[in-house]
Amino acid sequence: MSAVPPHRPQGPITSQFGAREPAYLAGLNAEQREAVETTEGPLLVLAGAGTGKTRVLTTRIAHILATHKARGNQILAVTFTNKAAREMKERIGKLVGASVEGMPWLGTFHSIGARLIRRHAELVGLRPDFTILDTDDQIRLIKQLLAAENIDEKRWPARQFASMMDGWKNRGLLPRDISPADAGFFANGKGQKIYKDYQARLKTLNAADFGDLLLEGIRLFKENPEILAQYHDRFRYMLVDEYQDSNTAQYMWLRLLAQSRDGINSANICVVGDDDQSIYGWRGAEVDNILRFEKDFPGAKIIKLERNYRSTSNILAAASHLIAHNESRLGKTLQTDVGEEGEKLSVTKVWSGAEEAREIGEEIEQYQRQGDPLNDMAILVRASFQMREFEERFITLGLNYRVVGGLRFYERKEIRDALAYLRVIANPNDDLAFERMVNVPKRGFGPATMQIVHDIARAADIPLTSAIRELLETEELKPKPRSTFRELIRQIDDWASRLHTIPHYEVAEQVLDESGYTEMLKADKSADAPGRLENLKELTRSMGEFDNLGGFLEHISLVMDRDTGEADDAVSIMTLHSAKGLEFNTVFLPGWEEGIFPHQRALDESGLAGLEEERRLAYVGITRARKRCRISFASNRIIYGRVQDALPSRFVDELPPEAIETIDKGSSYGGYTYGGRASTRFDARDPFESVYETPGWQRAQRQQSARKGPGPITIDGDLVARSSGPSAAYAVGERVFHLKFGYGTVSSAEGNKLSIDFEKAGPKKVLDSFVKRG
Ligand code: ATP
Ligand code: MG
């Protein structure tokens, strides 16, 4: 095994370092150092948060490179996110004193899995340039397959199948491996066939979905031992971070690669993890993978790291005390090496969610004034809908923030869709909004139908909704789209008129329900659908903070208009799940209320196991903090459109009293009654400060588009007619030609509508712009 050194290591290296050891080893404690230097054979580093697991992995790679045990391209290193992979490369670069090129196998399971099957695409029935399908494509494909099997999609939704299949793929199951019991869940036992057809279709399309990136790799290795042997030779060292969150397919894939080359000696695989931070059970992660490492890799060495270098002792005490409430855990000792007790954690009771955002905003500004960079602060929420309140507040304050691992609230698809409906109601001339909502949920308007509408609108320079109104008086459209359009326009008018009689936020709820949007999401069985529904509730809830729909929409356009360029210094907002592995000086953990955290769904669906996973999330949250951890809960929370008394999370009671300081701001607003939505608009202490300004929104409302002269009409690119202005241009008795209905004679004319007796199609009402002289 002679490897060419890719980099000159920093500092001199003598035989096993002799007198002078390399700089990268200095500063490691004895156990960490042992983990770094035990390069041969299987190794498990099982340790609590902040003990330097990731640091060990990084240093270990640097060590392997520096001691020429392997070249960069002979090391397989798996991280949890692409961001983590980039950071790891940077850190290794710093350690070995060179930029780390040539580590093509450092990345996430997905990215490495894709790279691997691209190299052998033909063996798994693909071409090297195969596409990776996103969820939407996946659903579309499943729908086609369901239709082909005459399976009623209403009864057996495509998304339900998608998430079932995801589960199979996470467990490493090919179509042939599905047990009849498993397959029986869907469409009276047709699950297996659809899965099989789906995989076959993917091959025809030269495509793979996310699950395939590993599943096909597993198949490749099993069916082609000689290929697997190549990789046994190639990957001299394998390293995996966050091993507690690996699922079965990932485990199988790794295990195949890590099988001993000669059947005697074990592979050089090092995995690091923390059973207390296993938070992806809901996505098929198997914490057992970490527990059975010893069994799978006989002779495995286990190293425990017990010194925490991240957090103060108060923070660590709180996290340890909390997680001790879990029954299923290995149990670990954790001592801080930070050497200071530090501030106590604070648990603040606030009045409402809006109040919570204000308090946190103020605190952040205060820390900022003291010189703390915003980059060192993070707000970690349980569910993404909780972000809105903070985003709004920070925009008002002009405080830079970034949403890590997801979109900003108003950029989310469901929010944009809902806003499109509201914009159309507020302003029927808003064509962009109309186009966005017209087929969401699906109403069956095809491209040809929409083309006709567009042509009319463009020719007469009128908005799309007006063009449809005109078309409705004719027979230009087929009966089906005509009646669907008629219903839609009726609904839009109806919703708009309700704005005069009932509060705009209620109208918004009705719009979402009556349009079928809510139902569409409810029928959606994908993992993110419930979160989307929550986001919509949060949207309608937030509308109550404005006097009317116009004010709300004006506010949104200002918010969306904001420069989205990344600021150098910004507070991070993210979910607890995305925060894994990261650290910040100051961490805010808002919304510690029963139902939100622990999340009701986790409790309902998974009982005690769900609760314990929630508790691990809380543990992850607290242990992200280096110096300061600020927990809060509101005593009133609007959930599902209603103000509800919120109960503090049970996790609050599970914190050790000696490590926390409780602050009560929730009852300091004497006389301030939370009368519902509109009252959140003012800060109780400063009733004249409007949180949201709504300057001159009226201007934005209902701007009639100026009508210009007639323009040409095209269908599928062909000029078929010119908008002819008043139909007086056509005389009764005149012979005309209509693209769809053919020749006919004008029997009467009214405005721009003509009644024509068509020679073949019989009498019809059409728009004058669609006929030309025969
Ligand atoms: P998590 O479980 O959250 O992923 P981890 O075990 O991976 O945590 P790291 O992120 O590697 O922990 O390390 C936590 C912090 O402690 C980092 O800032 C790291 O640089 C620092 N650290 C780790 N080991 C040492 C050490 N021996 N001396 C000083 N600082 C250290
Ligand atoms: Mg880590």
Domain assignment of residue 316, yes or no: no
Q: Would residue 203 show up in a list of annotated catalytic residues for this protein? A: no
Mean pLDDT of 318-336: 86
Q: Which of 244, 239, 274 is nearest to 254 (CA)?
A: 239
Q: Where are the strands (E) in 253-329, listed by range?
A: 269-273, 301-305, 307-308
Q: Same domain, yes or no, for 574 and 488?
A: no
Q: Domain of 743?
A: 712-773
b/e map of 65-102 (b: 16 or more CB within 10 Å)?
bbbbbbbbbbbbbbbbbeebbebbbebbbebbbeebee
Q: What is the pLDDT of residue 692?
A: 25
Alpha helices in 545-645 (DSSP H): 549-561, 600-622
Q: 241 with 112, same domain?
A: yes
Query: CATH no. for residue 445?
Result: 1.10.486.10
- 337 is a domain residue: no
> Per-residue pLDDT tens for 676-704?
332 222 222 222 222 222 222 222 222 32
Please indicate whether residue 649, judged by its CB atom, sits closer than 6 Å to ligand 1.
no
Residue 658: how many other CB atoms lie within 10 Å: 10
The residue among 695, 739, 731 whose CA lies nearest residue 713 is 739
Element (H, E) at 251: helix 248-258
**According to the model, what pLDDT value does residue 560 have?**
65
Higher pLDDT, 542 or 482: 482
Q: Which of 166, 197, 242, 613 is catalytic?
A: 242
- Whether 442 and 350 share a structural domain: no
The count of structural domains within the chain is 5
Q: What value does the mean pLDDT take over residues 450-479?
A: 89
Asked whether residue 392 falls in the same domain as residue 513, the answer is: no
How far does the centroid of ligand 1 lie from the alpha carbon of residue 201, in Å? 46
Determine which of 133-137, 145-149, 400-404, 525-529 has the lowest per-residue pLDDT on average.
133-137
User: Pseudo-torsion of CA 240, 244, 247, 249, nearest 10°?
Assistant: 30
Residue 237 CB less than 6 A away from ligand 1: no
Average pLDDT value for residue range 224-229: 94
Of 203, 235, 261, the last residue of a domain is 203
- Distance, in Å, from the CA atom of 441 to the CA atom of 516, rounded to the nearest integer, reads 6
200: enclosing H helix or E strand: helix 191-204
Residue 7 has pLDDT above 70, yes or no: no
Asked whether residue 429 falls in the same domain as residue 531, the answer is: yes
pLDDT band at residue 20 using 50, 70 and 90 as cut-offs:
low
408: tokens are 């900003």
Q: What pLDDT is stored for residue 261 in this prediction?
A: 60
Question: What is the average per-residue pLDDT within 37-54?
Answer: 94
Ligand 1 close to Cβ of residue 272 (< 6 A): no
CA distance 161 to 138: 10
Flag the least confident range among 70-79, 190-199, 282-291.
282-291
pLDDT of 212 > 70? The answer is yes
**Taking ligand 2, which is a single-atom ion, which protein residues have CB atoms under 5 Å away?**
53-54, 581
Cα of 238 vs centre of ligand 2, distance in Å, is: 16
The question of whether 624 is a catalytic residue gets the answer: yes
What are the residues whose beta carbons fall under 8 Å from the beta carbon of 331, sequence distance 6 or more?
A: none
In the chain, % of residues over pLDDT 70: 86
- Confidence class for position 336, pLDDT limits 50, 70, 90: confident
Could you tell me the two tokens for 304? 């425990």
Distance of alpha carbon 753 from alpha carbon 751, whole angstroms: 5
Q: Same domain, yes or no, for 74 and 140?
A: no
Task: Specify the residue with its C-alpha closest to ligand 1, atom 30.
Answer: 309
CA distance 254 to 109: 9
Sign (positive/negative) of CA torsion 726, 729, 730, 736?
A: negative
CB 328 within 8 A of CB 321: no
The protein residue whose alpha carbon is closest to atom 18 in ligand 1 is 310
Whether the pLDDT of residue 555 is over 80: the answer is no
Helix-helix angle 313-323:600-622, to 10 degrees: 150
SS3 content of the chain, % helix, strand, coil (to 5): 50, 20, 35
54 ligand 1 Cβ < 6 A: yes
Q: Dump pLDDT digits (tens) for 84-124.
A: 888 888 888 888 876 556 788 999 898 899 999 999 999 99
Task: Report the pLDDT value the prediction gives residue 190, as an integer from 0 to 100.
Answer: 87
Is 242 an annotated catalytic residue?
Answer: yes
Q: Per-residue confidence at 760, pLDDT binned at 50, 70, 90?
A: confident
| Residue 145 vs residue 11, higher pLDDT | 145
With a 6 Å cutoff on the Cβ, whether 29 touches ligand 1 is yes
**What's the pLDDT at 101?**
65
Say yes or no to pLDDT of 513 above 90.
Answer: yes
CATH assignment at residue 601:
3.40.50.300
Q: Return the ligand 1 atom nearest residue 277 CA.
A: 2
Does any ligand 1 atom lie closer than 6 A to the CB of residue 55?
yes
With a 6 Å cutoff on the Cβ, whether 49 touches ligand 1 is yes
- Percentage, residues of the chain above pLDDT 90: 48
Together in a domain, 361 and 388: yes
* Judgement on whether residues 448 and 540 belong to the same structural domain of the protein: yes
Residues 6+ apart with CB under 8 A from 52: 28, 29, 32, 305, 307, 309
Helices (H) and strands (E) in the chain, counts: 28, 27
One of 32, 51, 54, 680 is an active-site residue; which one?
54
User: Is 277 a residue of the active site?
Assistant: yes
- 46 pLDDT tier (thresholds 50, 70, 90): very high
